[in-house]
Structure formats: structure tokens, C-alpha cells
Amino acid sequence: MVDGISPLNAAQKSTLQTTQRLNRIRTDSANHIATGLRVNRVSDNPVDFYRAKALSDRVGDLGGIKGNIQVSQSTLQASNVGLEAVQDFAKQLIGIANLAKTAQTAQDREALVQQFNQVNAQIDNLVKDTSFLGRNLLSSPAGQLSTQVGDGTNSVLLTQGNDSTVNALGIGDAAASYNGFATLSDINTAISDVNGAIATARSSQGAYTTDLSILNTRENFTEALSNTLQQGVDQLVNADLHEEAAVQLAAQVRSDLSFQGQKILAQGDSLLMGLFQ
């Protein structure tokens, strides 16, 4: 007669196993909701885990490339700011030279010569200061900017710096090169040289602006690609919170029913044992 109780014990054991399984489901679901992730470790889903890792690594690589691009963008922007200031100084030189045309005395011309050379010296000082993180595209000798814009070894944008010191721009000393503004011809030569320097500076600006435009396009592309890859990562590992909430509710209902089933089985055991007392 004791063997007749075995089916009930087996049923209780099955119900207990079901309860334990439901508790695990509820725990996993709660973890998904808490972390926002459906795949936290390899054991959760090996295929999705390694796919997501590969995409995440690629996003990290793109982040490094984007950082390089941004540094180069700032370097080119700094160079253009410096060239703009060089042109401002050059315009001051033209103004001084034009004043020399109306100078009445040698003393007046000498004062203008000193002013011209003083502003001239400021151009070289400014060029030395036009650097970003130690990179100067305007100094002598001019630097070079190499920017990694993609994954391949050939995905590089090379920007050649342009020496923008007064010597390279062709602006001479007012006394030595332009005879102290002694004649109208000397003054016009100075003005012509300075206008040539302005044209050179503008040409350098144009080249830097072209490269800056390329970098802006590459930055936008890199950002868009990175966002697309990150969306792929999210789709692979992120949890659907609505779905997880439904799992939680369903597991809770099944757990409650399982608990009630255990109570009924336990009561059945008690009644059955009572028959033998």
C-alpha cells in the first residue's frame, strides 16, 4: 500500500522542479529589466554575444578615428585663424607704406620704417604661436599633418603646411629691402610684396579649408556609421522591457498556480495517510 503514494510524491517533485524553473525565469527576467540587457554574458546567447562584441570593437575603433579627425580639424582651424591674422598685419603694412607716400621729412619716413618693421616682426611672432597640440603648419620649416580617416593604411589625408613667415611670404625689411621708403618706387615695391604675401596667405587658407571640408565629411560619415553599428549592438543585446515585464507576470502567475498545486498535493498526502491511521 505504501507504493501507492509514489505517484503523488513524483507529482510533488515535478511541481517543485517547475517552481524552481519559474524562479530562475523570474530572476533572469528581473536582471534583464535591471540592466536593460538581454545578453550580459556568453552563456546568455553565444552567437549574439560575439556578434555584439565585434560590432562594439568596431565602434571603439571608429571612435579613435573620429578623435584623430577632430584634432586635425582643430589644427587646420587654428592655422586658418593664424593666416587671417597674418593678413590683418599685412594690411597694416600696406597702410604704413601708403602713409610713407605723404611723409614730408626724412624723420617722418624713419618713423614709418620703424613701424613697418615692428609690424613685420609681429607676423613672425604670430606664426610661431599658431600651433595646436604642438603642431604648427605655418612655421619655418612648415609642419605636415597626417590624418587617419579610415581603417586602411591608405585611408590618410596628408596636409602640407605652408611656411608663412615674412621671409617665405616675401615681405622685406623696410630699410634694407625698400631703401627706407626713400622713393615712390621703393614704397610701391613694398606694397606689391605685401599684396603678394596676402595672396599667398589666402591660397594657403584655401588649401586648408578644402582639407577641413574633407575632414568634416569624414567625421559626419564616421559618426553616422558608428551610430548604425551601435544600433546593431543594441538590437543584439538589449532587452525588450515590455516583453520582459510580460515574462515576469506570466512567471508569477504560473508560480502562484504551482504553489497552489503543491498545497493541494500536500493535502492529498495528508488525507491519504489518514486512511492508514
Q: What superfamily would CATH give domain 47-236?
A: f41 fragment of flagellin, N-terminal domain (1.20.1330.10)
Q: Which residues of 235-274 are buried (b: 16+ CB within 10 A; e: fewer)?
A: ebbbbeeeebeebbeebeebbeebeebbeebeeeeeeeee
**Dist CA 74 CA 219 (whole Å):** 13
Rg for the chain, CA atoms, rounded: 40
Q: Are 161 and 145 in contact (CB under 8 A)?
A: yes
Q: What is the pLDDT of residue 1?
A: 45
The pTM assigned to this predicted structure is 0.74
Q: Which ranges constitute the DSSP H helices of 149-277?
A: 166-169, 184-237, 241-274
What residues of the chain score a pLDDT lower than 70? 1-37, 238-277
137-144 contacts, C-beta under 8 A, 24 or more apart: 137/75, 137/76, 137/79, 137/161, 137/162, 137/208, 138/79, 138/82, 138/83, 138/86, 138/162, 138/163, 138/164, 138/165, 138/204, 139/163, 139/164, 139/165, 140/165, 140/167, 140/168
Domain boundaries, the chain: 22-38+240-277, 47-236
Q: What is the pLDDT of residue 5?
A: 47
Q: What is the pLDDT of residue 246?
A: 57
